[in-house]
Amino acid sequence: MNAIVSRLKHMVVEVIPTAVFFFIAFEVIAFTRDLMLETPGTFTSTLTATIIGALVVAKVGVVVDMLPFMNRFPGKPLIYTVVWKAGFYFLATLILRYLEHVIPFVIESGDFFMANRQLFGQEGAWPRFWFVQIWLVVLFFMYCTFREFGRVLGRERVLRMFFRSIDNDPR
């Protein structure tokens, strides 16, 4: 029983920084999207979706990072791994977000090809779609960069660098 509790505690501690990062990131995306669309007052529904989205992405991110093909460039400069992982996450979100948009049309029409025609014919939907995707690629790049720095430098060193004075600190 102690092993299960210990493992759960480790998983929660591992997910928290990623969840916080993506919660803040998704809130920034939602806020800028609402500013662009001039639709204030959607905070409550967006907050719930943001919390759920951040938790899901955090858990999926931790699981995906354990896949063997994600650590494809050991010994190479970090940019290889950062671009590889950010590209993978970008492609995954592109597919998932596309499916999220096309599925309601498939349910409505019953035909995948008709649903695609309806989706691609929607006026104004694609600028919003790409607006979010561009934000996501930037955020995934930042996330992967921070994760790789943390992996290479070590968690304690990164925390010390970010949250303690580094003047005259020989460590």
**Residue 169 predicted with pLDDT over 60:** no
Q: Which of 6-20, 72-86, 92-106 has the highest mean pLDDT?
A: 72-86
Question: How confident is the model over 136-145, as pLDDT tens digits?
Answer: 899 999 999 9
Rg (CA), the chain: 19
Question: How confident is the model over 15-34, as pLDDT tens digits?
Answer: 888 888 889 888 888 888 77
Place 84 in a pLDDT band, splitting at 50, 70 and 90: very high
Q: Contact, 86 vs 39, CB < 8 A?
A: no
Distance CA 97, CA 128 (A): 12
Place 40 in a pLDDT band, splitting at 50, 70 and 90: low
Place 43 in a pLDDT band, splitting at 50, 70 and 90: low
Long-range CB contacts (< 8 A, 24+ apart) of 36-41?
36/131, 37/128
Answer positive or negative: Cα dihedral of 145, 146, 149, 150. Answer: negative
- Can you tell me whether residue 152 is helix, strand or coil? helix
**Phi and psi at residue 164, in whole multiples of 5°?**
-130, 155
* pTM for the structure as a whole: 0.74
Residue 113 has a pLDDT of 82
Average pLDDT, the chain: 81
Residue 142 has a pLDDT of 92
Place 42 in a pLDDT band, splitting at 50, 70 and 90: low
